[in-house]
Amino acid sequence: MVQFIDARWTDILFQSYQHFSLVVQSLLLATVVAVALAALVTSREGLAPVANTVSAVGLTIPSFALLGLLLPLVGIGAVPAVLLVTFYAALPVLRNTVVGLQGVDAGLVEAARGQGMSDAAVFWRVRLPLAWPVVMTGVRVSAQMSMGVAAIAAYALGPGLGTYIFTGLAQAGGANALNSALVGTVGIVLLALVLDAVLVLLSRLTTPEGITV
Amino acid sequence: MNQTATTEQSGTGAQLELVDVVKQYPGQKNPAVGGLSLTVELGETVMFVGPSGCGKTTSLKMINRLIEPDSGRILIDGEDITAHDPTRLRRSIGYVIQGGGLLPHMTVADNVGLVPGLLSWDRDRTAGRVDELLDMVGLDPKVYRDRFPKELSGGQQQRVGVARGLAADPPVVLMDEPFGAVDPITRQRLQDELMSIQEELRKTIVCVTHDIDEAIKLGDRILILREGARIAQYDTPETVLASPADDFVADFIGSGSKLKQLTLQRVGELELSRPQTCRVGEPVAEVVSRVEAAGERSVVVLDERSRPREWLFLRTLAQHRTVPAPDHALQTVVDHRSTLSDALDAMLVSSHGGAMVTGSRDRYLGVISYDTVTAHIQGQQKEAL
Ligand SMILES: Nc1ncnc2c1ncn2[C@@H]1O[C@H](COP(=O)(O)OP(=O)(O)OP(=O)(O)O)[C@@H](O)[C@H]1O
Ligand SMILES: [Mg+2]
């Protein structure tokens, strides 16, 4: 094992970096898309349940199956990897943002409108800040899930630690099969812990002071 | 205090007119507001009262277009409010709601400075205005400016809510049960403060309340509504009390309407008595001999700024060498603008059968006694017979 890592540590570090970067970029993209969708959905009567159903059903699609559908459309490489991770990452953020926005006291929103805030101002300065802790919880859930999904993306020759897992699987029974799979799995778990710690910190820093408990 | 803010203060309200305003909510048999017509004169305070669900809030929210009427017109200084977009309209109309409705993630200063911010006032002007208003509603800006709403008591939040409604100096201010969520003593204080603010600013105020006493106390006129916001009576408190339009109104103002006259009269209109006073820190022996020489058994303690701090019996004082500084807040003090009914409330917790009365800046004016108030009421009843 030590030997295995020793021989490949530059590659392991590089793949870890690739994996982390894939997850973070997809997560960012997913958050932006999900918050925009949630804003749209909560502004129209009756759309929010639809969004919740979509995110619940979406999460039941096996990631391998979705990858199978994506590959013929966009080919192999980084693009299907980003699309795949973003799709799954967006769902929990969407659901949480919808719940968070709906949880904002309607009386408070009306009070803000009554002072003369425009709809945009009410969204950016009242509803989103108040929903923010719930949104960030969704982002953390997404981050954990994306770590696993990103491993699947390696199947489409995307970057990341998934390569080690697939190599391990392909050479099952071979000399370094177990080492390879272990490096991939443990590496992903470590990355997930690091990212979660970063997100907890970020959540603290970005949650408005007046609503922390 | 702030030069720009004061020079720009118009200090006056605007005339407000509702013409046959109708609002029916979808799926309801009867309109919530079925043709309300009403004129509120410039600088007047009108109190909307009526049974729950009679359409007070709906009527109020149509004035700042949080609710759009189905038909009818609303005019401010003769101009139809639909002439401009609702967001701009609302910046020119103060809006105060129950509990304050403060944004929890913004500081007190940001909450009060919200509308000035929306109107793009510059920073210094807004900051000056915020301090001025906090001062006006009785909150020390240095202490409270940077706090968050959760760090304030209910009464303080409500004060900030009032300050926010007045921040951009709007000619018209709408209030929906502004003091409904605070305890009776705080409510009385807030009412007194609003009266003194209004004395100075003369805004046009429309205030919803379910408390008829509050309506009588604060209103230049009272609008009594029945189901569907139909007007039962619209008149001055004196007239409504003296000659209710019909049984509905008579029922609504209640049987104690003679006693309700108490909410029309201010403490300052009655004669105050002036018992002996002393200062914190004075030698007790001197105080006792002075008070006894005057043939009295109790003495009012004032602090260095002539504010009343306590009302003590000599036997309590005799335990000390010098007059002690009291360590508790006083319950039995009323402002000279308080109503007689407020004064009676305060007397209930007094063991001296009276309440201490303060003037501007909480300075001691004298004492109003229970006997003075009852004699006054009896005198009025004789007159009425
Ligand atoms: N959004 C709404 N949808 C449907 N009906 C409503 C709505 N808001 C109010 N109503 C109805 O309209 C009527 C008037 O309501 P409104 O809130 O104006 O009463 P109110 O006089 O302010 O009552 P309260 O003293 O209880 O606050 C009530 O019958 C109420 O049920
Ligand atoms: Mg109401």
Q: Do A110 and B107 touch (CB under 8 A)?
A: no
User: Which tokens in the block code for residue B115?
Assistant: 């509308």
* Residue from B63, B87, B164 to probe the interface with A (highest A Cβ count within 10 Å): B87
pLDDT for the residue numbered A155: 76
B135-139, B228-232, B284-288, B376-380: the lowest-pLDDT one: B376-380
- CB spacing of A117 vs B101 below 8 angstroms: no
pLDDT on residue A203? 93
Question: What percentage of chain B carries pLDDT values higher than 70?
Answer: 94
Chain B residues touching A112 at Cβ < 8 A = 103
Does residue B66 sit at the A interface (CB-CB below 8 Å)?
A: yes
Dihedral class, residue A45 (left if φ above 0, else alpha if ψ from -120 to 50, else beta) = beta
Considering chain B, what is the average pLDDT of its residues?
88
Q: Show residues of chain B in contact with A208, CB under 8 Å.
A: 105-106
Residue B6's pLDDT band (boundaries 50, 70, 90)? very low
Distance (Å) from the C-alpha of residue A133 to the closest C-alpha of chain B?
12
Q: What are the structure tokens assigned to B57, written together?
A: 């809030």
Amino acid B385: pLDDT:
60
Distance CA(A160)–CA(A191), nearest Å, equals 11
**Per-residue pLDDT at A33:** 96
The Cα of B91 is separated from the nearest Cα of chain A by a number of Å equal to: 5
* Single-letter residue type at A60: T
B323 has pLDDT over 50: yes
Please report the domains of chain A, with CATH numbers, ordered by start residue.
Answer: 11-208 (1.10.3720.10)
Q: Which domains does chain B have, with CATH numbers?
A: 16-256 (3.40.50.300), 268-381 (3.10.580.10)
User: Residue B305: CA atoms inside 13 Å, Cβ hemisphere, count?
Assistant: 7
pLDDT tens column, A95-136: 999 999 999 999 999 999 999 999 999 999 999 999 999 999
pLDDT score, position B1: 39
> In a mutational test of the pocket of ligand 1, which residue from B29, B58, B67 has the highest number of ligand atoms less than 8 Å from its CB?
B58
State whether B103 and A113 contact (CB < 8 Å).
no
Q: How far apart are alpha carbons B346 and B380 in whole angstroms? A: 22
Q: Is the pLDDT of residue B209 over 50?
A: yes
DSSP-assigned letter for residue B339: B
Q: Judge: A113–B97 Cβ closer than 8 Å, yes or no.
A: no
Q: Give the type of residue at B274.
A: R
Q: Is the pLDDT higher at A154 or at B295? A: B295
Q: What is the largest CA-CA distance in chain B?
A: 77
Collect the ranges in chain A with pLDDT lower than 70: 157-158, 213
Looking at residue A213, its pLDDT comes to 65
pLDDT band at B127 (very low <50, low <70, confident <90, very high): very high
Phi, psi of B255 (to 5 degrees): -75, -30
Angle at which helices A47-60 and A78-103 pack, to 10 degrees? 140
Count of other CB atoms within 10 angstroms of residue B347: 19
Average pLDDT over residues B356-370: 86
For ligand 1, atom 12: residue with the closest CA: B32
Range scoring the smallest mean pLDDT among B129-138, B145-154, B341-350: B341-350
Query: A209: which chain B residues are within 8 Å (Cβ-Cβ)?
Result: 105, 148
pTM of the model: 0.81
Q: Which pLDDT score is estimated for B8? A: 40
Are the C-beta atoms of B273 and B366 separated by less than 8 Å? yes
ipTM: 0.85
- The structure tokens listed for A139 are 């982002």
Task: Answer whether A123's CB lies under 8 Å from A40's CB.
Answer: no
Report pLDDT for A206: 93
Angle (CA) A123-A125-A127 rounded to 5° is 45
Q: Kindly report the protein residue whose alpha carbon is nearest to atom 17 of ligand 1.
A: B57
pLDDT, greater one: B73 or B374: B73
